[in-house]
Chains A and B, each alone.
Chain A
Amino acid sequence: MKRRIRYSRREGKLTLGGKLSFVLVFLLCLLILIPMVFTFLYSFFPKTEIEAYLKSRGNYDSSQWMDILYSPAQFSLRQYYKILIEEPTYLQLFCNSAMYTGAILLGQALIIPLTSYCLSRFTFWGRDAIFFLILILMILPFQVTMAPSVTVLRWLGIMDTVWAVILPMCFSPFYIFLLRQFMAGIPNELLEAGMVDGVGPIRGFLHVILPVCRPILGAAMALSFADSWNMVEQPLVYLANKQSLQPLSVMFNQISTERADVAFAGAALYILPALFVYFFFQEDIVAGIQLSELK
């Protein structure tokens, strides 16, 4: 017992500073959660109440304040019914977003692990040059390759179609980098043991490397989901002439200014899939970010 008190630092008991940090970090976390909590809360407000509330914005009269609403006068699910069933615009955009995200994730699943495998477990001429290029492409802002990309997409005949958004994202350099980092760290003995048993490069990929990569695949998937679910620049440029194909991320703003009553319900629904992904993959995401360090 005495030992335990003496080594409290190691056994999970907090020091005074630790307790202070606990309180501070706890408060900060509450602060960070506030925007999300209130988005969900306001999504249950009935139409009249939330419209009046949003109208009270932009009042420059210094004697007046906006109220802070904590609970609806009447709990309402009407606005959810509206956007999900009565008026299909929102749902259409939501489905567009889901379609893009699904297609991008699928494409990435086919391309990226294989490419990373080649870049990490093989030696061949030009490998390091390719990797270096991928690193550079990874950090450049989207706009750098935007205009010439359009020429390429036109030439391929996929400009203003869904493929213009999906295909380039399937080869996203960041995820090639991320998976390559993880695969390069897998001990060589694992593959060598396989090679002794006569495993070739392809079976080595499917039966040795891929199973070991499970955590990083989860991480890449979750991070890529966040990217695609939130993408703005690509559809804005590649689908400039196709309003009907735009995802929710681009159009949501317009909806929420035009239709104040469903804005919060829409926002809450929009956040929900991201929340699910977060809860299922949070540990993987952490592991993934840790790997995005250059080593």
Chain B
Amino acid sequence: MFHRKKIVYVLLLPGMIGILAFYIVPFIGGIYYSLMDGTFENNFVGLENYQRVANNKMFQLGLKNTWELSLWSAPAIWLLAFILSAMLKSLKNHSVMFRNVLLLPYLMPSSAMLLIWLIMFDYGGVINRLAVQLGFERVLWLEEDALRVPIVLLYIWKNLGFSVVLFSSALTAIHPSLYEYASLEGAGWWTQAFRITLPQIRPTAFLVFVLAWVNAFKIFKEVYFIGGAYPTEAVYTLQHYMNNKFAKLEYQDVTTAAYMFAVGVMVLFALMYASKAVRAPAEN
């Protein structure tokens, strides 16, 4: 650790200039935008923009959809990742290979995967075949409300591995003697999972949950690829609203919406940051 070295300001300079120019100035500039009316005179209008955007039908729709899509995908990823990493742990040294396979989709470009996705979820496709085999009706997966299913599944397919890796590293840190003692006492797999594993990894579990949620707010690529800039109502996300307003050069609305969204994300982030307090005793 270097103390009171002036050279740090020189070394930090290039990075800080960039962060300032491309992130912090726009971030602060956004607040300015959202408080002005954007006309030639550019008057200060206070919270008027916020009021207008909040009352906008498309904004409400986007907010609702983004919220609901994340409500589907984040818990699903969390639960699946927990179960999978618990299973991986019982595989011992075989687990590495499987974990890496689970991570592979994370690197795959979504747009390249879309084609096969559309074939699988076609009305005559393999998913519907499976549904009929299991005694269900065929579903028009690629239209209206049902379109959410392929989108959420594509998102889960791509992001599951990330959470599994986080969970797995927490799981392997649990001392094995705890389990040995539990099995001597006759505790089964289920009891062990919920009485030992879950309490032991609680801080990580919480973090994975918040991270999965914050990231699920960013679902856009997948929807954009399937539905374009104006997808069916059921999957019109907040990001669509912002991008479309942007295309119409209505910057005030874009930034105002963005800030309202950002506040929501930051509340989650505050929770995540607070979880450090939860974490600290476990580490010491």
Chain A residues packing against B (C-beta within 8 Å): 9-10, 12, 14-15, 17-18, 21-22, 24-26, 28-29, 32-33, 35-36, 38-39, 42, 54, 56-62, 64-66, 68, 110-112, 114-115, 117-119, 121-124, 130, 133-137, 139-152, 156, 167-168, 170-171, 173, 176, 188, 191, 200-202, 204-205, 222, 225-226, 229-230, 232-233, 236-237, 240, 248-249, 252-253, 256, 263-264, 266-268, 270-271, 274-275, 277-278, 282, 285-286, 289-290, 292-295
Chain A residues in 8 Å Cβ range of B90? 14-15, 17-18, 21
Chain B residues packing against A (C-beta within 8 Å): 1-5, 7-9, 11-12, 14-16, 18-19, 21-27, 29-30, 32-33, 84, 87-88, 90-94, 98-120, 122-126, 129, 138, 140, 157, 162, 165-166, 169, 176, 179-180, 189, 204, 207, 211, 214, 217-218, 220-221, 224-225, 238-239, 242-243, 246-247, 251, 254-255, 257-259, 261-262, 265-266, 269, 272-273, 275-276, 279
Chain B residues in 8 Å Cβ range of A236? 243
Establish whether residues A145 and B92, one from each chain, have CB atoms under 8 Å apart when the complex forms: no
Establish whether residues A168 and B23, one from each chain, have CB atoms under 8 Å apart when the complex forms: yes
Bound-complex Cα distance A171 to B204 (A): 28
* Given A25-B91, A173-B23, A282-B103, A144:B166 Cβ within 8 A: no
A29 CB contact (under 8 Å) in B102, B122, B123: B102
Q: Give the residue name and chain of the A residue nearest to B137 (CB).
A: A62
* Given A35-B157, A39-B112, A66-B119, A124:B9 Cβ within 8 A: yes
* Given A14-B92, A171-B23, A232-B224, A140:B109 Cβ within 8 A: no
Q: Give the residue name and chain of the A residue nearest to B207 (CB).
A: A293
Establish whether residues B166 and A294, one from each chain, have CB atoms under 8 Å apart when the complex forms: no
Establish whether residues B220 and A233, one from each chain, have CB atoms under 8 Å apart when the complex forms: yes
Bound-complex Cα distance A134 to B269 (A): 13
Chain B residues in 8 Å Cβ range of A136? 266, 269
12 new A-B pairs (CB below 8 Å) besides A68-B129, A252-B111, A289-B162? Answer: A28-B84, A32-B157, A33-B101, A36-B113, A59-B123, A114-B14, A171-B23, A201-B5, A225-B107, A248-B109, A252-B109, A253-B111
For the complex of A and B, 7 pairs with smallest distance between CB atoms: A115-B15, A148-B29, A171-B18, A148-B26, A21-B87, A145-B26, A168-B22
Bound-complex Cα distance A66 to B121 (A): 11
Please name 12 pairs of A and B residues whose Cβ atoms are closer than 8 Å in the assembled complex, sorted by A: A28-B84, A39-B113, A140-B265, A143-B239, A143-B257, A146-B242, A152-B22, A171-B22, A200-B7, A204-B2, A230-B109, A267-B116
